[in-house]
Amino acid sequence: MSLPKAELHLHIEGTLEPELAFELAARNGVELPYADTDSLRTAYQFEDLQSFLNLYYELMAVLRTERDFEDLANAYLARAAAQGVRHAEIFFDPQAHLARGVEMGTVVEGLWRALGSSARNHGVSTQLIMCFLRDESAESALETLDAAKPYLDRIVGVGLDSAEVGHPPVKFREVYEAAAALGLRRVAHAGEEGPPEYIVEALDVLGVERIDHGLRCVESPELVARLVRDRVPLTLCPLSNVRLRTVDVLGDHPLPAMLDAGLMCTVNSDDPAYFGGYAGDNFEAVQQALGLSEERLRELARNSFLASFLEHDEELRAR
Ligand code: ADE
Ligand code: ZN
């Protein structure tokens, strides 16, 4: 769907399509434990978040050089542009690369080669959000923030992702305080598989401005009331929720009820190479499965710009 929109929840490593994975594997002499793209695709049957993350981290082995990260980002930006994305706030997971001996500079400079020229080449403005892996230690997150210091002119904010349950936001209080002191914007995944309390903690302890997913807020009427009152944006990812089985079928997704309740929802793709579609595909899927009106779709698109870290005058020009 080509309605102009901003994408606010997108992991660049989750845009690695099987074809590019094999191309990069060949280029870098990396052996993948799959015979071909078809057999790799058959592995895309997930039970839950962890079963997806296992494959997501495994395939990252093919990303080694600046050029690899540049090619990955350019491929995403071309697809996103074709689906109406005009602005993208892109997550990356440096710890997953540092652990494999790929340096922060390789990742950021490589992504920047594509992002720096994206407005010109793809008509998509971009920002980078560095995520901490919540199943790694708090010390590792602090070291990662330190390693990013030479690149802070290219990073708008920090996020928190990976395995949620058992890794509450409070674990990352110190690194979020340090990020805030550096002038970085703050977001966090919360309430994807984890309980509503993690959403409350992300707001109260980490001081986040947006909640990534936030789906499980619907279990707490007090929390919903707070999110509505404070206009806290939620970056929902409907196709991801189905593939990771937090929602049984798209027709059961709570998005319409969330909009009716007055929540500031946005629709995003999360890891589109793995979950069956990019931003426009997610819009189309919810329109079809949930019968959303044109007005609701326009509201979702408008919310995406309002919830972005673009200045709002830029947003108005983008539309
Ligand atoms: N990393 C990549 N995609 C993710 C998701 N949906 N939830 C948590 N961590 C992730
Ligand atoms: Zn995500």
What pLDDT does 311 receive? 77
Q: State in Å: Cα 169 to ligand 1 middle.
A: 15
What pLDDT does 1 receive? 76
CA distance 315 to 306: 7
Note whether residue 319 is domain-resident.
no
Q: What is the pTM of this model?
A: 0.97
Q: State in Å: Cα 161 to ligand 1 middle.
A: 5
Q: Is the pLDDT of residue 319 over 50?
A: no
Show the ligand 1 pocket: residues with CB < 6 angstroms.
Answer: 11, 14, 49, 56, 161-162, 189, 192, 240, 270-271
Catalytic site includes residue 143: no
CA distance 94 to 190: 20
Note whether residue 316 is domain-resident.
no
> ipTM strictly over 0.90?
yes
Q: What is the pLDDT of residues 162-208, one digit of tens each?
A: 999 999 999 999 999 999 999 999 999 999 999 999 999 999 999 99
How many domains does the chain contain in total? Answer: 1
Note whether residue 314 is domain-resident.
no
Q: What is the pLDDT of residues 104-138, one digit of tens each?
A: 999 999 999 999 999 999 999 999 999 999 999 99
The parent domain of residue 129 ranges over 5-309
Give the CATH number, domain containing residue 45. 3.20.20.140
